[in-house]
Amino acid sequence: MAWEPGSGRTATKEWKALRVIILERDEHRCTAIQQNGERCPEKSPLVIDHIKNAASGGTDEHSNLQTLCKWHHDRKTAKEASAARTAKPRVKNGLRPPEIHPALRSKRSDSLPGF
């Protein structure tokens, strides 16, 4: 099931109260800095974002929370997801190693498990 806003822990009274505090602190505006060096002017829709996400050990401390517009939040989340995928070790091309043809195996490799 996909994550939906307002589900799970973000539906709690504690999170809703924390959300109000962070929105007020950030003046109900996105805190992302644009390429021109100015703060993003978007005021809606806004998302409270973990600077260091929970999966990486981030907490709900005020210093780890920021207000982002949906556009900036979606891009940050996509970047984090991409980094997490590339950080996982993978088998080359997602395939198992090629097997040695039985006629080409030496007697020594015939005694190894899996051959």
Q: Which long-range contacts (CB under 8 A, 24 or more apart) does 74-78 make?
A: 76/49
Amino acid letter, 100: I
Instruction: Report pTM.
Output: 0.67
pLDDT digits (tens, 9 = 90+) for 67-87: 999 999 999 999 988 887 777
Domain residue spans of the chain: 1-79
C-alpha distance from residue 7 to each of 3, 12, 30 (Å): 7, 9, 22
Q: Which two three-digit tokens encode residue 114?
A: 């899996």
Mean per-residue pLDDT, 4-25? 84
* Lowest model confidence (mean pLDDT) among 12-16, 23-27, 96-100: 96-100
3-state secondary structure of 39: strand
pLDDT of residue 83: 85
Could you tell me the end-to-end alpha-carbon distance of the chain, in angstroms, rounded to an integer?
41
| Whole-number pLDDT of residue 56 | 84
Return the pLDDT at 8: 77
